[in-house]
C-alpha cells in the first residue's frame, strides 16, 4: 500500500509533467502566431489599405520570428529595435528602410527623408535629414508613403511561408481583438 508521501510524489510528478506540457504547447503556439502573422493579417483584412497597414506592422513587430535569412540585398538589425533596409536599388545612395521605435514606426526613403508614424501607422511628421528641417505636412502624401514602406519590405513579405498543418487563424483573430 502506497504511503501518503509516495502519493504526493506521484501527484507532484504528474502536475510537473502537465505544467511542462502546457509550457511547451504555449511556446509552439506563440511561435506559430508570430511566424505566420503576415499570412494571418492577409486573411483578416477587410480592405486593401487595412491589409497593407496591418502587414507592415506585423512584419516589423515580428521580424525576428520571420523567415528572413535567404533574402538577397536586405539588411536586418535588431539592436534594440527591429530594422529592415532594402538595398535592391537606390539611385541616390540612400536605401529605403523601415524600423520600429517606442512610439511607432520610422520610414527612410531614397531621398534621405525620414517619416515618423504612430503605432496605428498614422503619419506624424517628416524630416529632411540633410537639412534637419521638418517637412510641410500638407505636402506629404500619407498613402503614397505607406505604399513605399510596403514596397520596401515586400521581399520579406514574399519570403514568408503559409501555415502548414496548424492554421491558427481563429486564435490569431481572437488575440488580435
Report if residue 16 sits inside a domain.
no
Report if residue 21 sits inside a domain.
no
Whether the Cβ atoms of residue 86 and residue 153 lie closer than 8 Å to each other: yes
Q: State which residues form the domain around 76.
A: 36-176
Q: How far apart are CA 108 and CA 146, in angstroms?
A: 11
Report if residue 51 sits inside a domain.
yes
Q: Which residue has the higher pLDDT, 69 or 172?
A: 172
Q: 137 falls in which pLDDT band (50, 70, 90)?
A: confident
Report if residue 147 sits inside a domain.
yes
Q: Does pLDDT of 1 surpass 70?
A: no
Backbone φ and ψ for 165, nearest 5 degrees, come out as -80, -20
Report if residue 13 sits inside a domain.
no
Instruction: Give the H or E element holding residue 157.
Output: helix 142-158
Report if residue 120 sits inside a domain.
yes
Q: Does pLDDT of 121 surpass 80?
A: yes
Report the mean per-residue pLDDT for the chain. 90
Report if residue 43 sits inside a domain.
yes
Q: Does pLDDT of 127 surpass 90?
A: yes
Q: Which residue has the higher pLDDT, 89 or 80?
A: 80
Q: 2 falls in which pLDDT band (50, 70, 90)?
A: low
DSSP 3: -
Q: Does pLDDT of 91 surpass 80?
A: no
- Domain count for the chain, please give it: 1
Q: How far apart are CA 138 and CA 92, in angstroms?
A: 25
Burial of 112 (0-12, 13-18, 19+ CB in 10 A): middle
Report if residue 60 sits inside a domain.
yes
Geometric angle at alpha carbon 52, from 108 and 43, rounded to 5°: 145
pLDDT in tens, 11-70: 999 999 999 999 999 999 998 899 999 999 999 989 999 999 999 999 999 998 888 888
Amino acid at each position: 500500500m502506497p504511503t501518503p508521501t509516495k502519493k504526493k510524489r506521484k501527484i507532484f510528478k504528474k502536475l510537473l509533467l502537465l505544467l511542462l506540457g502546457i509550457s511547451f504547447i504555449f511556446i509552439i503556439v506563440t511561435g506559430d502566431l508570430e511566424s505566420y502573422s503576415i499570412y494571418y493579417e492577409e486573411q483578416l483584412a477587410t480592405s486593401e489599405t487595412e491589409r497593407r497597414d496591418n502587414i507592415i506592422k506585423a512584419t516589423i513587430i515580428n521580424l525576428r520570428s520571420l523567415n528572413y535569412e535567404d533574402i538577397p540585398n536586405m539588411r536586418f538589425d535588431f539592436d534594440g529595435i527591429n530594422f529592415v533596409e532594402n538595398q535592391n536599388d537606390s539611385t541616390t545612395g540612400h536605401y529605403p528602410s523601415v524600423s520600429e521605435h517606442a512610439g511607432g514606426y520610422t520610414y527612410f526613403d531614397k531621398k534621405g527623408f525620414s517619416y515618423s508614424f504612430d503605432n496605428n501607422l498614422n503619419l506624424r511628421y517628416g524630416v529632411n535629414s540633410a537639412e534637419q528641417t521638418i517637412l510641410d505636412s500638407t505636402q506629404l502624401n500619407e498613402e503614397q508613403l505607406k505604399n513605399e514602406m510596403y514596397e520596401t519590405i515586400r521581399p520579406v513579405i514574399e519570403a514568408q511561408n503559409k501555415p502548414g498543418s496548424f492554421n491558427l487563424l481563429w486564435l490569431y483573430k481572437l488575440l488580435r481583438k
